[in-house]
Amino acid sequence: MKKLSAIIVFLICTFNIQIQAQDISVVANIWPPYVDNALADNGLAMNIVKEAFARSGYKMNLTIEKWEKALQGSEMGAYEVVGAIWKNKLRQEKLLYSQPYMKNNIVLMTSTNNQLEYHSLNDLHGLLVGILKDYAYDEKFMADAKILKFQASRLTQNLIALQKGQLDVVVADKRLALYELKTFMGSNRSKFRFLPKPLASRHLYIAVPKENKQSKTIIEKFNQGLAAIKKDGTYQKIIESYTF
């Protein structure tokens, strides 16, 4: 009986080791402070994703690509998971989403000497508004032709344009904005202000191509790991470790 028990324990330990050693390929685009190999644990979002997967026996192998390459690579099977993504109808046709693991507040910024107040999209009509490429912004905002939108590849470009008076308003994820202001704008940080009413709030997910035969398993495991790190306080500690 003792010998049988020892064998069972050995098999359980072996099985656990195999699970812990299972690699999973994750792709994301550079998006500080959420995804950036220059930041601790590759950024806030990737830290959460890594820990959630670890609780379910996965070791995350992260690749950082430009957004288009990240999506195309996942659809072609080069990567199993898109590590940080918002939902839209087009993406949902091809991707299976996890439970949301973060919330992004999309805010409006202007200069401190601009008296603009924002209550509805009508308040932005006729204004020059800076946005970023490849962002799945609020659909009504994007469809409103009376809002004059100018795209940039980096938020810093829009902030500089706002400072020079070339833009009236800039749309930004608030954490990204705080990070860029602290990192790049220095003493000019005080020349910008956030408008009180956000443009929108978006949930952040991981997603797996539906064509991946393991898509449901991967999503279920991630959701279980996410619940575990929220329960034991790890999640909150990660959030609090990235302050700007």
Reported as a single tens digit per residue, the pLDDT across 129-171 is 999 987 878 889 999 999 999 999 999 999 999 999 999 999 9
pLDDT-derived band at 9, boundaries 50, 70, 90: very low
> Which residues are CB-contacts of 56 (< 8 A; sequence separation ≥ 6)?
19, 221, 222, 224, 225
Secondary structure of 65-114 in HEC code, one letter for each residue: CCHHHHHHHHHCCCCCEEEEECCCHHHHCCEEECCCCEEEEEEEEEECCC
Percent of the chain with pLDDT over 90: 75
How many helices (H) and strands (E) would you count in the chain? 9, 10
Residue 134 amino acid letter: D
Q: Check residue 1 and report its DSSP letter.
A: -
Residue 186 — pLDDT band, cuts 50, 70, 90? confident
- pLDDT bracket for residue 210 (50, 70, 90): very high
**pLDDT over 70, % of the chain:** 91
Query: Does the pLDDT value for residue 89 go beyond 90?
Result: no
Distance of alpha carbon 106 from alpha carbon 102, whole angstroms: 13
User: Is residue 6 very low, low, confident or very high in pLDDT (cuts 50, 70, 90)?
Assistant: very low
Reading the block at residue 12, the tokens are 């359980």
| CATH number given to 21-102+203-241 | 3.40.190.10
Residue 229 has pLDDT above 60, yes or no: yes
Burial class (CB in 10 A: 0-12, 13-18, 19+), 226: buried
CATH superfamily of 103-201: Periplasmic binding protein-like II (3.40.190.10)
Q: Residues spanned by CATH 3.40.190.10 within the chain? A: 21-102+203-241, 103-201
Indicate if the pLDDT at residue 10 is higher than 70. Answer: no
The C-alpha atoms of residue 144 and residue 124 are separated, in whole angstroms, by 10
Residue 128: is its pLDDT beyond 80?
yes
How many Å separate Cα 133 from the centre of its chain? 15
Q: Strand 148-152 to strand 200-209: parallel, antiparallel, or no bridges (unpaired)?
A: unpaired
Mean pLDDT of the chain: 89
Model pLDDT for residues 51-62, shown as the tens digit of each residue: 999 999 999 999
Report pLDDT for 135. 82
For residue 236, what pLDDT band results from cuts at 50, 70 and 90?
Answer: very high
Q: Which residues contact 226 (CB under 8 A, 6 or more apart)?
A: 48, 52, 98, 99, 101, 235
Q: Which residues of 24-54 are buried (b: 16+ CB within 10 A; e: fewer)?
A: bbbbbbbbbbbbbeebebbbbbbbbbbbbbb
